[in-house]
Amino acid sequence: MGNKIELPEQAILWKDRKRTIFGLPLSFTRYRLYEDRLIVSKGFLNVVEEEIMLFRILDFKIKLSLGQRIFRVGTVELSTSDATNKELQLLSIKKPREVKQLISDKVMEQRKIHGVRGYDSIEEAPGESL
């Protein structure tokens, strides 16, 4: 028998794809939100997955261009304390305001679970003072 690792199944709280022309999900960029993490998968033949733990998210921004508003999509930008992903964008998703609120609520839950306050996760650079 092989060395298969069994991980507990987590429910996906939200998922969507990057929407392209006319707001259609004709993209190979996929977003999945779980209870404790957000995963962005990009690619078709070569797939790259970025994962961010929710308690590392520091700030949110919603961007709605004219074209996005016409097709009822928007972009949610996340600022994080993650070393490899300081900025993460959920590009052209449906219901961006509701998604931002869902992520925000889950971020607060995860911060409580991990005992992290928003400013605790900001690290001071050497030679700088806040």
Q: State pLDDT tens for residues 50-63.
A: 999 999 999 999 99
How far is 58 from 88, CA to CA, in rounded Å?
11
How far is 58 from 116, CA to CA, in rounded Å?
11
Residue 120, phi then psi, degrees to nearest 5: -65, -30
Which class is domain 14-118? mainly beta
- Strand segments (E) across the chain: 14-17, 29-33, 37-42, 48-53, 57-63, 73-80, 87-94
Q: What is the pLDDT of residues 12-54, one digit of tens each?
A: 999 999 998 888 888 999 999 999 999 999 999 999 999 999 9
pTM: 0.82
Query: Where do the structural domains in the chain lie, given as residue ranges?
Result: 14-118
- Contact by Cβ (8 Å): 20, 75: no
Band of pLDDT at residue 119, cut at 50, 70 and 90:
low
Half-sphere exposure of 59 (CA within 13 A, CB side): 6
